[in-house]
Amino acid sequence: MKWADDGAATSKAAVEQFHQAGISGGFQCNGEPGVREQYAPGYYAAFLLDPDGNNVEAVVYL
């Protein structure tokens, strides 16, 4: 996965890889990778819950 200096994903593929790696690592899906225009134009993200229940997100602006 390639990430920007600020920790943001740099592509849709990186968001998708983040999500798959999290699921494979035992995290719970809290939102499949996809566009979420309700957040911002071009907002493409995926969400996971870590073992403690914290929401973890990867996002890239398309």
What is the percent of the chain with per-residue pLDDT over 70, rounded to a whole number? 89
- Bridge partners (DSSP) of residue 36 are none
Class of domain 12-61: alpha beta
Q: What is the average per-residue pLDDT within 31-46?
A: 96
Q: 46 with 39: CB under 8 angstroms?
A: no
Split at pLDDT 50, 70, 90, the class of 8 is confident
pLDDT for res 9: 85
Q: How confident is the model at residue 60 (pLDDT cuts 50, 70, 90)?
A: very high
Mean pLDDT of the chain: 90
> Which pair of tokens denotes residue 58?
């990867």
**Cα 26 from Cα 42, distance rounded (Å):** 28
Enter the pTM of the model: 0.87
Cβ atoms of 44 and 15 closer than 8 Å: yes
Q: By three-state DSSP, how is residue 59 classified?
A: strand
